[in-house]
Amino acid sequence: MGFETSVVIAIFFVAALILGTSVYSSMSISNAVIEEATQSNYDLRLSKLHTNLEITSITLNSTDSENNKVHMKNTGNEPLYIDRLTVLVDGELVPDYSPDNSQVWTPREKRTISEIPDGDRIKIVTHNGISAYYNIST
């Protein structure tokens, strides 16, 4: 085996080491991203499993149809943030509703939101997608 052959083999060996190192670092970064996404998915599923709410009653204001009240109870084990709720009346988003005094809604606690317009169907959705539904017409 000549000198040139030895140099070519050494160059191929160094190139294989460099290529292997770059592939390993790329795979390591990809694996870390996948692990983080899996953990986020697990946390969201666990949060959904522990979240539940119930619309207990609706107070309709006979003089002001834009100022009805929805009374709810956090029946899950997860604290909720009342300002992060999505309120839908007859499928239409209610962008401006008034929650009662506190923002943190602990389990087993009742809360009221007001300034809800008239409608037949009310749906309250939490930040993680769990919802409660109330049909006024029945």
Cβ burial, residue 123 (10 Å; 0-12/13-18/19+):
middle
Give the DSSP H or E segment for 136. none
Q: What is the pLDDT of residues 104-130, one digit of tens each?
A: 889 999 998 888 888 889 999 999 889
- pTM given for the model: 0.71
Positive or negative CA dihedral for 36, 42, 43, 45?
A: positive
In this predicted structure, what is the pLDDT of residue 82? 86
Q: Which residues are paired to 135 by β-bridges?
A: 121
Structure tokens at 45: 């599923």
d(CA 115, CA 47) in angstroms, rounded, equals 29
Q: Which residues are paired to 113 by β-bridges?
A: 70, 99
Domain ranges (residues) in the chain:
1-49, 52-135
Within the chain, what is the greatest distance between any pair of CA atoms? Answer: 101
Which class in CATH covers the domain with range 52-135? mainly beta
Neighbours of 66 (CB within 10 A): 11
Q: What is the pLDDT of residues 62-92, one digit of tens each?
A: 777 677 889 999 999 999 988 889 999 998 9
Structure tokens at 130: 């769990």
Q: 121: helix, coil or strand? A: strand
Positive or negative CA dihedral for 72, 69, 125, 104?
A: negative
Q: What percent of the chain has pLDDT over 70?
A: 98
